[in-house]
């Protein structure tokens, strides 16, 4: 799969076999937002996991903001959102961020550091367990801009882990151990008292 970059937007070109994600007469737009400069939060988490908690199989860690917008199945409205979403400064600051927009469940390539040959890339999505005030606030902002074609907004943090294991199953199991905070010295990325996490494809 190839990606076309225009300005600060990376459009994923997905094959015809990849069908859009529908919920009734709705579909999803997913937006992945990343800092252009080094991410201090991700760097701190990476250092803690590698050097304090001794997760030595984790070769690298990266962080993206994740937004999922539920949109009415209106092709002109969807195209308008795709063309102008970068103007929503509450979501994307084009001076600080670049982003990837995906409008179906096709393959997704997130740019990162070079991995070792045996490393597995595992993505962990962390979201609030209950009502997310940031997602609700963004829904109101988008409805004010685009109208009632916006049906819902979901928000999360997408952690991208590079795990030095040949087995995919073992790498995902190891990533889950890193994600779920159980004790001060075990897990870091998700507090399951108020958050939920899942493997993200």
Q: Is the pLDDT of residue 47 over 70?
A: yes
Q: Is the pLDDT of residue 18 over 50?
A: no
What average pLDDT score do residues 106-129 get? 79
Q: Is the pLDDT of residue 17 over 70?
A: no
Q: Is the pLDDT of residue 65 over 80?
A: yes
Instruction: Please tell me the total count of domains within the chain.
Output: 1
The percentage of residues in the chain with a pLDDT greater than 90, rounded to a whole number, is: 73
SS3 70: strand
Q: How confident is the model at residue 27, as a pLDDT?
A: 87
Average pLDDT, the chain: 86
Query: At CA 39, angle to CA 114 and CA 98, rounded to 5?
Result: 80
What average pLDDT score do residues 47-57 get? 96
The strand pairing partners of 122, in sequence order, are 161
Give backbone dihedrals phi and psi of 118, rounded to 5 degrees, phi first: -95, -5
pLDDT category of residue 7 using cuts at 50, 70 and 90: very low
List, in sequence order, the alpha helices (H) in 74-163: 75-84, 133-146
Which tokens hold the place of 45?
């988490």
The residue that leads in pLDDT, 21 or 61, is: 61
- Weakest mean pLDDT among 36-45, 100-109, 152-161, 182-191: 100-109
- Weakest mean pLDDT among 27-36, 116-125, 140-149: 116-125
Q: Is the pLDDT of residue 39 over 70?
A: yes
Q: Cβ(155)–Cβ(127) under 8 Å?
A: yes
pLDDT category of residue 117 using cuts at 50, 70 and 90: low
> Which residues contact residue 49 at a Cβ distance below 8 angstroms, ignoring those fewer than 6 apart?
55, 58, 61, 178, 188
What average pLDDT score do residues 23-29 get? 74
Q: How confident is the model at residue 118, as a pLDDT?
A: 72
What average pLDDT score do residues 93-108 get? 86
User: The domain containing residue 40 runs over which residues?
Assistant: 3-199
Q: How confident is the model at residue 73, as a pLDDT?
A: 84
Kindly list the distances between the CA atom of residue 69 and the CA atoms of 72, 85, 153, 158, in Å, as whole numbers in the listed order.
Answer: 10, 11, 5, 16
> Which residues contact residue 136 at a Cβ distance below 8 angstroms, ignoring those fewer than 6 apart?
153
């Amino acid at each position: 799969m190839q990606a076309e970059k225009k300005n600060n937007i990376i459009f994923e070109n997905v094959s015809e076999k990849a069908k859009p994600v529908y919920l009734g007469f709705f579909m999803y737009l997913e937006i992945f937002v990343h800092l252009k400069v080094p991410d201090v939060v991700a760097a701190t988490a990476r250092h803690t996991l590698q050097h304090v908690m001794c997760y030595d199989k984790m070769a690298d860690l990266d962080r993206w903001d994740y937004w999922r917008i539920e949109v009415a199945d209106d092709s002109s409205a969807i195209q308008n959102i795709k063309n102008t979403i970068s103007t929503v400064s509450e979501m994307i600051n084009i001076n600080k961020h670049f982003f990837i927009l995906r409008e179906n469940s096709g393959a997704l390539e997130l740019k990162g550091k070079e991995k070792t040959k045996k490393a597995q890339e595992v993505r962990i999505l962390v979201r609030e367990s209950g009502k997310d005030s940031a997602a609700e606030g963004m829904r109101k902002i988008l409805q004010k801009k685009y109208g009632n074609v916006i049906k819902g907004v979901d928000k999360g943090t997408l952690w991208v882990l590079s795990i030095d294991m040949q087995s995919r199953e073992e790498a995902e199991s190891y990533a889950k151990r890193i994600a779920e905070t159980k004790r001060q010295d075990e897990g870091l990325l998700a507090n399951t008292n108020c958050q939920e996490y899942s493997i993200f494809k």
